[in-house]
Structure 1
Amino acid sequence: MQVEIITIGDEILIGQIIDTNSAWIAQQLNAIGIHVKQVSSVADYPADIIVALTLASGRADVVLVTGGLGPTKDDVTKQTLAAYFDCGLRRDAKVLAHVESIFARSARPMLEINRRQADVLDKCDVLFNEMGTAPGMWVSHKGKTYIIMPGVPFEMKHIMLERVIPRLKQFEDRKPLWHHTILTGGIGESYLAEKIADIEAALPHHIHLAYLPKPGIVRLRLSATGGDLNALKAETTTIVQQIKQRIGIHFLAGEDTSLEQLIRDFMQQRGLLLATAESCTGGNIAKLITALPGSSSMFEGSAVTYSNAMKMKLLDVKQETLDSHGAVSEQTVREMALGAQRNFKVDYAIAVSGIAGPDGGTPEKPVGLVWIAVAGKTQVAAHGYLFGHDRAINIDRSSMAALFMLWQILNAEHK
Structure 2
Amino acid sequence: MGIVLAATYKMVIEPLFYLVKGYVDEKGTVKEEKSPKEQKFTRSKSLDSGLDTISRQTNDSDKRVRRNSYSPSTDSGIVPGSEPASSNNSRRNSNASGDSGLGGKEFHENLQTLMHQTNRENYYYWLQEHDISHIARAVYNYSENSSGNVVFCIPGDVSTLNSKLKEYKIEQGNTKKIFASIINLGGNHWVTLIVTCNGNRQFRAYYCDSFGNKLPNEVEGKVKDDISLANEIAEKCLVPLNNEVGSLIRKRENNPDNASLKEKKDDVEKTLGHAREYRNKLVSKPIDTSYIVGILQETLEIGNDSIKSSAVDQQKDGCNCGVFALENAHRITEMLNEDKSFDEIDRELSKYKPSPGQLHEKRREFAKALMEDEEWKESIAEGGILHDTIQQLISEDSKKEEAQSTISSIIQNVTTTCARRLGLSN
Query: TM-score if structure 2 supplies the norm length?
Result: 0.21
Higher-strand-fraction structure: 1
Query: Which protein is richer in helix relative to its size?
Result: 2
TM-score for the superposition, normalised by structure 1: 0.22
The higher relative CO (CA closer than 8 Å, separation ≥ 6) is in: 2
